[in-house]
Structure 1
């Protein structure tokens, strides 16, 4: 057990998520610096809105040092600003990533404290995340550094190879710290909202959207004039933020949480005119997915855009019925029109080709898979390995987990199952479906034996 833990810790994880965070954060900082280019001396200059004397006094009270302590000159701002812009561009593309991570942090830290009156919550989060980010292997994926290493086929000295486990450990701890910071942000934000009177009354979103700086002409009015919509947005945002850390504990609800967070912050960015804040938050969300999950996503998207279906995801291994981790086989009733229509709909939503639908009415299917035909007639079955089978609501949950568009429904399905009525509701619906065997019937066909129908 200890050996497995040691092996796991000595390998870097979440490399793709870290790379996506680097790209998103870098693009956000580049936009920020270019957007304020004309006003840089007004915002951060010694004679600007926050004069040097006020800055030094504030820094002394906080015990903070920044690059602006080096000298009192307009040229220092030019060096920091232009140098920071160039370093952020290199940081974004992943060239000399380790050193650029350090310099970008110093520049962002310095600008943040040089004038704290122009910062927001997104800047505060990135200021903290960039500190942890310095210790990650930021250029291992999706970077010019990685491309150059592959092209040159660099031979790593033996001494540096011996340091790899320690570098991986620092990387994993830094990523874990970034994730914890993100989860604390969600949870504490939700808890503070719970304590607010307007959030308790369901009116907070209304008053926030009526602030002139947050108005989206022609759109905001449609939202705040809907009483039900305002109440729903207010309560759902609080519940989502509080539940977010706990949704990550399960494999499938995690996907729903990440997708929900991206949609949530996209809405906040558009409706509240907080695009940069939302951009930073979405960049942090990529840290929540593992490298293996990004490979699944990449393969699925490649096959979707190529129009060939997902290669290898539904392929059975030689000699048994085991299939890949994500792919499942679903056994449905081909004599049931409702079931057939549902399968056609699910097939259109199966973007990654993770589900293979098989009618158990086809000859040889029951024998090949060793299934019970009586149980198949009563409940849908599904399997990921050909050995363990899920039935009824469990099969629906397993199938829904492979359909990205239906991921938001997963928490409701789990809740229904946990409360005990999910399976009963499924059985009630299944018992009332119409069965039409091959060749048809005069009116409709019943599952009961002929002796029971008489």
Structure 2
């Protein structure tokens, strides 16, 4: 380990500070990660409690508790190990909230476990200072997980980066098989979609319309940069300063976009905190001891005494040294500070350069140099620009003794810095830096990372089905997820269909509202929901499946997600009387690949596709209605004829393709004349072949095209008396009855013909059996097709006769 750490240090691959400072930086990151994880799991817990989902309460409660322990620094390494190893494999799986963000959470926790974090800014560190049972317990825990060393911190950062690098390699391995990425166009679509870019989509469209060439090629350049970043992330740190700065700065830009542009929940925050823990450096984090700021203060002023004590709590990296003026007149005079000046204002001196900062300017400088005070710096800077800050400071400073009194002598020691060396980072007697527990974690990480890399889809997307990926998958399964290492496949071509969907919700009067009542609080999204990741990703999971199927809206989606929509409603909304939740799915059209490659400036096009009405008391779907314009536009985008009626789409989506193909091909097989029509036979036979990725709507229109090409098909049916066609007809009419279930009247009509066909078959009346099946089939098509489309078809049939 020492050799590896030495090589990392020699190549300047990772920043390094004094051990105290590095551990405090890691503890800040640990507290931030713990706070975000607590917020995430805490929201899931609170919503589960309000909805009575007690199985979810148990899992979310454990996750929230572990996250709190991580944040507060209680039994820190134990909490880190438990949360890291269970977050992906157990917790998020049980909650139905598995995300890439949780993978990054585990990777950050791995860094904190190995470093080790929790030795400075934690409850553990406070307990360790004592002499009781708690101090003994913490000391035993520190021994078990090993002592601190500079080498160990470097190895911890390298190990965490290895885990993150595995994610990057898997992602780029998928991308090279994806046309949206290899064409360089995927980022164009991501930015132009309100689903993937909800906050800045209008700005993206304005930029695209104003300068399509620049927009398209900027996005292509970003794709190239991402590819290099994915591949170079870990090895590039050892390839010199230029590549290293590229990796760090590109990562910051990427994570800022993930946080503030893309709707990726906690992912961007976790990544920014992880990047901060690994790469944050500079004087503000204690990297340059010569740039400390000496602060001379009036040690007989109560306000000055309190100010110094307060500032010292924020100065965790030791950037300030506080010097009582009466005990440091030699230093003061050396830099031209008189006793009167030191008693009038706080005076800061940068001893290495001799720079001096007085009064309000000192506060502004301190805020810029002390990391935890950074949020105050813009306020102080603005106050100076507006002249308000210095004026308020001067008013208080001139009256400080009158307002706050004086003290005989300050209790603050000379050259005071509150956060000095901590005994928690000193090696425990007999405890090596790499204890058996830490060695076990490192060895397991290397083994599981290697096994995961064997499963990369670099040469084939079926890497798990062939050696050596098959061996690794069989031996280790999902075990790498214990370190946050898992399969990711995001923002690829399969996600683009999801990005075309736009969801909106309103509360509307219920269909059974008593006459005279009104909806007193008409509400619309985003004022309706308080969604946790559990609800959000459950809906997204089902929307991703639906978006790639048929028109992009189907009954299965609504039945699955309706209860989840109601579960995530704000409490105040759930009690609105006589109101239903109506969720609308719209479709967003964007430039095609051809449009982007030709730099054609287009305008955004949005249209409603379907509306789901949900009962907020039961969570059940009341109705699903399609918009005719939306159906036509969706068919047009699929390059299909605009034949379907919007009120019959659900029936059309149930089209029994195989049963109808069986009917048509049995008709062909039992009619010699049809058998001689080779083109018609070939296209009909193709209906029997299963096509990967084809859905009912595509098969329906292939069948319609075949029937349009053979308009006199009814003549062949009427003269056919084959028992085989009767048998195929019975199977067809059974399937048509099932397809017709969304429409009560059609179901009853088809059901009557099904009965007629079955009874005719039993009596041996083959002609009646065939005619009943043919009538049911005709009734089905008549029901789902627009009258004008169906009439044209029928007219062609009549003319052929």
Higher CA-based Rg: 2
Normalising to structure 1: TM-score of the pair? 0.49
Normalising to structure 2: TM-score of the pair? 0.30
